[in-house]
Structure 1
Amino acid sequence: MQANIPFMRIICYTCLCLLYCFFIPASLCGQKMTVLEGQIVAMEDGGPIPGAIISVHNGGIHSMSNQEGRFILKIPAMNTNDSIYVRMLGYQPQCFTPAILYQQGNRILLQQQPLQLKGISISAINPLSLIQKAIQRIPENYYGRPHVMKGFYRLSARKAWDYIHISEAAFDLYCPDLSGRHRLFRLTRARMEKDLSPFHGVSNIVFGVKPENVFEYDVTANINESDVLSKQGLKDHRFSLNGLVVYNGRQAYELIFDQREGLRKSRYQGKIYLDKETLAILSLQYWLSPSGIHYWEVKSLSQRALMKLLDMYETVLQDTVQIHYRQYGEKYFLSHVSNRSLIRLHSGRVHFDFNCPVDMQYITTQIDTVAVKPFADKELLGHNRYIEHQGEENSGMFWKDLNLMPADYDVDSVAAAIHSRNDISQYRRMLENIIRKQSKQPVSRIDTILSFYHRKGLFDGAALIQHKGQTIYQHAFGWADRSRQSANKLNTKFRIGSITKQFTAMLILQLQQEGRLQLEDSVGKYLPDYIHKNITIAQLLTHQSGIPNCTLNTDYLSQLLLHPFSNSELVTRFCSDSLEFTSGQHFRYSNAGYMVLSEIIERVTGKKYADVLTEKIFGPLNMLYSHAGVVDAEDTLMATGYEGSVPETKYPLLNMAGAGAIISNATDLLIWEQALHSDKLLPLREINQMFQPHAHYKDWNADYGYGWMIDKGMFKVSDKHVIQYHPGTDMGCYSMILRQPDEGIVIILLSNSGDFPRFDMADLILQQLNSK
């Protein structure tokens, strides 16, 4: 029996953006449109302004700018000469015509507007009484007669930077009155792609939206169910009046709230904006209160029981909702909603554990108030059914004729990538059938495996395999540089991403051997100005420091990709956030921890991290093709990484010093692996510390040593043999180094064509080499 785990409302609907096109008569549908595209930026610094509302004065047509400030507005021919208005909280509204926009190079400049009104006394107003009056006036302020809204949404979920779910749907809502209880949902089209690989094939995890969830965000239609504005919500929170502000050109009361002290449940912090004249709710913004977040739990008792039964859990780490209303004519309507969530998904039984950002955009493109009637029963979708599971349309024309906020990513490419990853699991079964029909000669089967994935367009790069201490297979596939038509070779150099961590760990162990540091030393001994002085070097090595992974922070990552920083700057700017847990108590993979180790190495030696690598590892081992840092554009041995068909983004490699940044090739990595069986770099008893289990990595069902993972079940042969490995990822370059010491097996796979099925490939190769 399949059991679906539906996430709570907020989890499923992250980044909900509702953009309404009000009162577009049905007669306008299908007529010729003028497409207006542009960017909204701040006059003061030229920075993009996301979330601005762009509307046609007489046509009631609306759109919203995305994170880059860009927007698309489709205007019917009859409204081409109408004025266009742009509004954004904190900026002066703008009015212009399409012709003026073209003259300005499709850029709209907004000037900042002071939010706080000074010199107005409001101390005598009771904030709770103000909110209660606003609730009483909802029937006066909001449109409550029958109407039909046409809507569109896009939902996405990620593991790190890989999208693992994307779905889109277009639909109609019948709204007979102000109450959300009687609304009807009619689906017109939908599509969905989901990737099961992060959950190791388990299909019980469901990202999805139900009609009832679409209805819930209009709090003025669902006051009794609101977490903040219901009677219970008003009791659970304390409110205060912060002052009068200008909200989109109108004077508004700004109220702030937090959950009450001593409340033993998870509630919210936030703000409410009320129109000063009418007390209409202009905006409700809230997020989980820090004082109660540790009480958060899934609301449904049956769902909690099901999760316990399946040993699959969700924990909300962050959740922010912003609901905005705007006036059209004399009434207010829901304008747009944003909801951002970060959820930890984990299972001990299936062995996954990762933080998952879930985002959604929801756009209402039209409201019809003329001669509307309820939908026929056969057209309805039940309130408790997942919308995206009802249909599938993967055509590139999916967005045609919709007024919407442009996506911040290529939706069709993301959907294609997920679809491709799903094909990979099918390929493995096909390949296993092919291998069974071949001779049992391992080398022939290994060539079949690697050639198969290359022909499927999933692997370009270099492969080197050793068995019983002898190299039995070495081959290169595809192009190192497609523009130059230069082929990959065995000495082609690749960026090896997180495989770098084992080299950083080796440097730390060497410095300990020299008596220059100890693993139990605190970071503060070497970085006295560092905020987290009490973390130990050992905790950094084993990802038990609690320092958040800086490469999962969008703002940080954009800076790391654009600007070079010194090691000390990297530690201060990107590795100094509040700890996610008390150091030493948990495991959480963090590139930031190894970046701190790189700074410690520089402080102890007085030399650059890259120079210490060459002095202590690359030089002594004669690894001639290995170094850290700058890529020489004229280096004909350097592979260009590709993300799909596009060359990867270039960035300052040493911004990832310690966690990444090393360039190497297959032959050098084999030299490195062989050195781990000798005392060339360290006595063997010291080297063996790297392969001892120091922490458990649930996500990959592995133990973690120092820069190496010790498998507990990802590879089939692990029930009888010790498998030590580490993958690497660096933009378009992906890699895998794996060793099985008892049989002298080494597998090195380096790719420059993006992600590839490295676990499946390594697993299949291991099975051939261990078959009797």
Structure 2
Amino acid sequence: MRLSFTGSLAVVSLAAAIAGCDRAANPTAGEAGTDRLAAAVRELVGPYVEGRSFSGVVLVARGDELLVHEGFGQTDHVTGTPMTVGSKFQIASLSKSFTAAAILRLRERNKLALDDPLSRFLPEFPRGADITIHQLLVHTSGLARYVFQPDYAERSRRPHSAADLVDWIAAVPLALEPGERSAYSNANYAVLARVIEVVSGQAFGEFLHDEVIAPAGLTDTGHRGDASVAAPDLAIGHVPVGLRTVERSSTVDYSASTGAGSIYSTAGDLLQWHRALAGDRVLTPASRALMFERHVDDRGYGWILDERRGRSTVSMSGWDGVGFSTEFVHFEEENLTVIVLCNLSISTAPTELADGLAALVLDGEATPLSLAAAPLDAALARELAGEYRFGADFYVPNASLVLSRAGNHLAVAGRPPGALLQLAEVSASGDPAFIHRQQWFRVTFDRDSAGRVSAMRYGPFEATRVAAAP
């Protein structure tokens, strides 16, 4: 179902709808509050759907009460098949919590210890004696991000056993010394998947189903280890093209991300997953404490433990780069869970939407997306276009990003490509602010004392302008 919402308010307000609603004591007031919340959610999500920058399912629950559970857009933008709340999605890095739970199940049976060296299970793995299971769980192993290797796009289209995947990862030199610091890499959880196979004697997907998924009571969740077998009701992944277009993504084999991003699920199952982890259906209290302990920086085992809106949260974001993006956040003291699943490869749009959904419930208001009505001025587009170089903290250290003029907008050349959507707001430099549609990073520009464009702020990163547009 394609939803279209219009509204001139700068803020979607829900304070009166939510405050003091008690459905048990006053069912009519409770139902009215829930209806108003649903309407406010549609008002918030609407601009993303209309701009074809969101298509998926949103879920908001407080305790055992399901406040919102709704599908937006299409499962397949070619056929126009409507999205439903039962649609399944690849959940990208949310898969890591399942792999972490499987490791902890093996630890409970004394099959492995968290300080065991990797060499105990994979004796041929380079530097395996210096890497522990714990380091793999919290991304301090030093393993490089194999998804950034030049041959990844081609190799990710082939089927891989977990052993094949480990051989591929083992051939990539370490990015850091083991234990040096936390540096996120899917390779850690791909290696853990192979450890699970070696220790259990079962295929990763089989062990996960028998020991994690089934005990949790999940019926619409599984490991996508065979690209030729599609799960029923699995949404089709898409990539954004230009300002408003989407296309079906190229075929990938999710066995290339076994353990790190190979799980599919539904919003309802993910809510049940977190509830199962909070009880004793999957993990013992000791294992549960380990999973949700802040071990290094903000990392638990498969989860991020931080704060949002000044409140303690357990969360995980996911983006597979080829068709799906996800967000899960649970506000601990408020017992509020927000889940956003998207079948568009738009990295942090679900994170932004989840933050807005949480704001509606927790704060009573949220600011909707507001794009500029007029096209970008051609002279300004030429002035902002050029090459910008990032520092060592970027995904690919010291990489460059080239902005060029494409019709009436700016576009990114290279990886990831995509158009810059012009926002209605103006940045501190006096120039418009933008959103990079594929990454969904906010983009602004700095100028020097002479008024020349000198730098670009790209999400959490800063890049220096090194060349003007040709």
- TM > 0.5 between the two? yes
Amino acid at match of 2:341: L
Where in structure 2 are there 5+ consecutive unaligned residues?
1-6, 19-36, 241-245, 365-470
- TM-superposed deviation, 1:467: 1.2
Taking the aligned partners of 2:341 and 2:178, their CA distance within structure 1 comes to 34
Q: Who is 2:10 aligned against?
A: 433
Inter-CA distance 692–451: structure 2 relative to 1 (3 Å threshold): same
- TM-superposed deviation, 1:513: 0.6
The reply to whether residue 674 of structure 1 matches residue 245 of structure 2 is: no
The reply to whether residue 656 of structure 1 matches residue 252 of structure 2 is: no
Taking the aligned partners of 2:231 and 2:207, their CA distance within structure 1 comes to 23
Inter-CA distance 568–437: structure 2 relative to 1 (3 Å threshold): closer
2:205 corresponds, among 598, 602, 610, to: 610
Q: CA RMSD in A?
A: 2.1
Counterpart contact for 2:162–2:193, Cα < 8 Å: yes
The reply to whether residue 565 of structure 1 matches residue 166 of structure 2 is: no
Deviations 1:649-700 (A, max 9, x none): 112211211111111111111110110110001123321222211122xxxx
Q: Who is 2:331 aligned against?
A: 740
The reply to whether residue 544 of structure 1 matches residue 140 of structure 2 is: yes
Deviations 1:222-272 (A, max 9, x none): xxxxxxxxxxxxxxxxxxxxxxxxxxxxxxxxxxxxxxxxxxxxxxxxxxx
Taking the aligned partners of 1:432 and 1:722, their CA distance within structure 2 comes to 30
The reply to whether residue 597 of structure 1 matches residue 192 of structure 2 is: yes
Deviations 1:415-435 (A, max 9, x none): xxxxxxxxxxxxxxx998231
Inter-CA distance 583–432: structure 2 relative to 1 (3 Å threshold): farther
Aligned positions of 1:187-336 closer than 5 A: none
Inter-CA distance 530–636: structure 2 relative to 1 (3 Å threshold): closer
Inter-CA distance 635–612: structure 2 relative to 1 (3 Å threshold): closer
Taking the aligned partners of 2:271 and 2:14, their CA distance within structure 1 comes to 31
Inter-CA distance 757–678: structure 2 relative to 1 (3 Å threshold): same
Amino acid at match of 2:315: Y
Counterpart contact for 2:125–2:170, Cα < 8 Å: no
The reply to whether residue 767 of structure 1 matches residue 359 of structure 2 is: yes
**Percent of aligned pairs sharing the same letter:** 26
What is the SS of the residue equivalent to 2:312? coil
Counterpart contact for 2:192–2:259, Cα < 8 Å: yes
Amino acid at match of 1:769: V
1:483 corresponds, among 72, 75, 78, to: 78
What is the SS of the residue equivalent to 1:704? coil
Taking the aligned partners of 2:125 and 2:357, their CA distance within structure 1 comes to 45
Taking the aligned partners of 1:582 and 1:753, their CA distance within structure 2 comes to 35
Counterpart contact for 1:479–1:486, Cα < 8 Å: yes
Inter-CA distance 634–614: structure 2 relative to 1 (3 Å threshold): closer
Counterpart contact for 1:469–1:744, Cα < 8 Å: no
Alignment length, in residue pairs? 331
Taking the aligned partners of 2:202 and 2:334, their CA distance within structure 1 comes to 39
Amino acid at match of 1:661: S
Counterpart contact for 2:142–2:175, Cα < 8 Å: yes
Amino acid at match of 1:651: V
Inter-CA distance 431–535: structure 2 relative to 1 (3 Å threshold): farther
Q: Who is 2:233 aligned against?
A: 637
Inter-CA distance 559–531: structure 2 relative to 1 (3 Å threshold): farther
Where in structure 1 are there 5+ consecutive unaligned residues?
1-429, 697-702
Counterpart contact for 2:14–2:361, Cα < 8 Å: no
Q: Who is 2:343 aligned against?
A: 752
Amino acid at match of 1:502: S
Counterpart contact for 2:92–2:263, Cα < 8 Å: yes
Q: Who is 1:460 aligned against?
A: 55
Taking the aligned partners of 2:14 and 2:58, their CA distance within structure 1 comes to 24
The reply to whether residue 728 of structure 1 matches residue 329 of structure 2 is: no
Inter-CA distance 663–458: structure 2 relative to 1 (3 Å threshold): same
1:685 corresponds, among 273, 283, 286, to: 286
Inter-CA distance 545–678: structure 2 relative to 1 (3 Å threshold): same
Which structure is richer in relative contact order (CA contacts within 8 A, separation 6 or more)?
Answer: 2
Taking the aligned partners of 2:280 and 2:101, their CA distance within structure 1 comes to 12
TM-score normalised by L of structure 2? 0.67
Deviations 1:111-149 (A, max 9, x none): xxxxxxxxxxxxxxxxxxxxxxxxxxxxxxxxxxxxxxx
Rg larger for: 1
Taking the aligned partners of 1:563 and 1:589, their CA distance within structure 2 comes to 24
Counterpart contact for 1:431–1:449, Cα < 8 Å: no
Amino acid at match of 1:646: E
Aligned positions of 1:34-113 closer than 5 A: none
Taking the aligned partners of 2:15 and 2:135, their CA distance within structure 1 comes to 48
Taking the aligned partners of 1:722 and 1:575, their CA distance within structure 2 comes to 37
Counterpart contact for 1:548–1:575, Cα < 8 Å: no
Deviations 1:306-358 (A, max 9, x none): xxxxxxxxxxxxxxxxxxxxxxxxxxxxxxxxxxxxxxxxxxxxxxxxxxxxx
Inter-CA distance 638–585: structure 2 relative to 1 (3 Å threshold): same
